[in-house]
Structure formats: structure tokens, C-alpha cells
């Protein structure tokens, strides 16, 4: 197996890379581990002290649960794996408090965390608007969780596609039209000839426009051994952390599977 980086937009939380010489089962398992198994921090319980806003406690609690929080995987454990057995301690949970009086909008930035490492990724996320005389006071508990239990714990979006194979069988009679027909600039003109722009080849989504306009001069296909993989982080973890953690989880799953097979003998 070979892995090569295509693009890494760290500031936007996006990465794309090519995985060569593998199969759909592996890349799909990696995708599912990223979405379902990589743990992140999210608000799970909310204790309301005061709420005279127009929204019910349940609605505000739901909104709080969807606020994206930075995650420290080295300092916290999943409740199911913690020594406190999920009862709640400093190793598996963190408290956040909020106390705001109206008038004005209540934002995620109003949440005050007991741990500076756990805080809202997007401070301007609105929670509720308070009118004059209204107030909101609460204490929330954030814990590690996985996307399989609830999507609020999912670290991001992961997807892949088969690597496209573009072949110029012969030079088309209308090179300019062929080059301009591609919506993702896979082709370019050099000395009035159509050539493949290798830097943009991974963008090809096999729409077929070039093959149709070239009247068979260009053939499109895809390989089931090479894949283009994309990861977009919601912000709790970096793309690098997400992929590395997913691979660690995959390794542990395989070790567990091997142990269970051995016990069958």
C-alpha cells in the first residue's frame, strides 16, 4: 500500500490523499472508523439554574450538545473506559458554566470551561436571544463520545472515490473544445494538442463530457485498486489527528479479531 498527499488545507480543516494498491473494504472501514469511532468531546448533560428565555430547556440543551468543542484525547478517556466506570470524573468529563442576562444574544463564547483545553471551536455560534429582564444560567457536562452513539460526537466528514483513469487514445480534431469541456480543468492545451493536467486529474468525476465531445478520442475509466480519500474536520480535532486515531482504532480492532479467532481453535 502507498499513500501520497494531494492537498492539505490546514486552515480549512480539509485533507485529500491517494491510497494505492488496496481495496474498497479497507478504505470503507477507514471511512466508517473516522465517522463512527474517533472520539470527540461534546456536551451530554445540562443542569438549568435559570431560564426565562423563549426557548424550552430541552431545545437549549439540544443546541448546546451540537456546539463543537475542542478535544484533548491525551487527557480524557471514554466514560466506558475510565476508572470511574462512567460515573463522571476529571479524567472523562469537564464542566462548563454559562450565566447571561438580557437583552442580547447568547453565544457559545459565553460558556466558561473548567479546562482551558476544552472550549467552543466557533465562539459566535448562537444559542438563544434574550430580551430585557430575561436570563439564562446553567451548568453543562461535556464527555468524550463516538459518532456511532450520536452524530454530535462525529469528528468530521470522510468519503472516497475510485481513482479516475483518463486515456487520450488519439488527438481529437477539436482540441480546444475538448479542453474547455472539462468542468474541473483536467485537460490543457499545449501546441494545439490536448494533454492531461496531472495536478487536476484527481478532480475528475467521470462526467463524460470530454469523451462525448472528442467522439471517442478520449476514454474514461476507474481503478478499483487506487482511491482518492477526503477528510473534512468539524474542528474538534485536526485532520491529521482524526486519521491517525482512526488507524489506531483499526489496528486495535484487528488485534481483537485475531485474539477471538485464536480462542476458537
CATH class of 2-36+157-230: alpha beta
pLDDT attached to residue 263: 87
Give the residue extent of every domain in the chain.
2-36+157-230, 40-149
Degrees (nearest 5) of the Cα angle 226, 157, 250? Answer: 60
Degrees (nearest 5) of the Cα angle 117, 122, 127? Answer: 110
Q: pTM score, two decimals?
A: 0.90
pLDDT attached to residue 190: 92
Q: What is the CATH number of domain 40-149?
A: 2.170.120.12
By the 10 Å C-beta count (0-12 exposed, 13-18 middle, 19+ buried), 178 is classed as buried
Sheet of strand 156-168, all strands in order from the earlier edge strand to the far edge:
2-9, 14-20, 218-233, 156-168
- The CA distance from 38 to 8, in Å, is 20
Same fold for the pair 2-36+157-230 and 40-149: no
Per residue of the chain (265 residues), what is the pLDDT tens digit? 899 999 999 899 999 999 999 999 999 999 999 999 999 999 999 999 999 999 999 999 999 999 999 999 999 999 999 999 888 899 999 999 999 999 999 999 999 999 999 999 999 999 999 999 999 999 999 999 999 999 999 999 999 999 999 999 999 999 999 999 999 999 999 999 999 998 899 999 999 999 999 998 999 999 999 999 999 999 999 999 999 999 999 999 999 999 999 888 6
pLDDT attached to residue 241: 97
Amino acid at each position: 500500500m502507498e499513500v501520497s498527499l494531494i492537498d492539505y488545507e490546514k486552515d480549512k480543516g480539509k485533507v485529500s490523499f491517494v491510497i494505492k494498491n488496496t481495496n474498497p473494504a479497507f478504505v470503507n472501514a477507514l471511512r466508517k472508523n473516522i465517522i463512527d469511532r474517533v472520539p470527540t468531546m461534546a456536551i451530554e448533560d445540562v443542569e438549568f439554574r435559570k431560564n426565562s428565555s423563549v426557548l424550552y430547556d430541552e431545545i437549549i440543551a439540544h443546541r448546546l450538545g451540537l456546539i463543537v468543542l475542542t478535544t484533548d484525547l491525551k487527557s480524557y478517556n471514554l466514560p466506558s473506559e475510565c476508572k470511574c466506570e462512567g460515573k463522571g470524573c476529571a479524567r472523562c468529563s469537564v464542566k462548563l458554566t454559562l450565566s447571561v442576562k438580557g437583552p442580547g444574544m447568547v453565544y457559545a463564547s459565553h460558556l466558561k470551561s473548567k479546562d482551558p483545553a476544552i472550549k467552543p471551536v466557533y465562539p459566535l455560534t448562537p444559542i438563544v436571544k434574550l430580551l430585557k429582564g430575561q436570563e439564562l444560567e446553567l451548568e453543562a457536562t461535556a464527555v468524550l463520545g463516538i459518532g456511532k452513539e450520536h452524530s454530535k460526537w462525529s469528528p468530521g466528514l470522510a468519503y472516497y472515490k475510485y481513482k479516475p483513469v483518463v486515456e487520450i487514445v488519439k488527438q481529437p480534431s477539436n482540441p480546444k473544445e475538448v479542453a474547455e469541456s472539462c468542468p474541473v480543468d483536467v485537460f490543457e492545451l499545449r501546441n494545439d494538442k490536448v494533454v492531461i493536467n496531472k495536478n487536476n486529474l484527481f478532480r475528475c468525476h467521470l462526467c463524460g463530457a470530454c469523451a462525448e465531445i472528442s467522439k471517442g478520442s478520449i476514454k474514461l475509466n476507474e481503478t478499483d485498486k487506487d482511491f482518492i480519500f477526503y477528510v473534512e474536520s468539524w474542528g474538534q480535532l485536526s485532520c491529521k489527528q482524526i486519521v491517525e486515531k482512526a488507524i489506531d482504532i483499526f489496528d486495535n480492532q484487528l488485534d481483537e479479531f485475531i485474539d477471538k479467532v485464536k480462542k476458537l481453535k
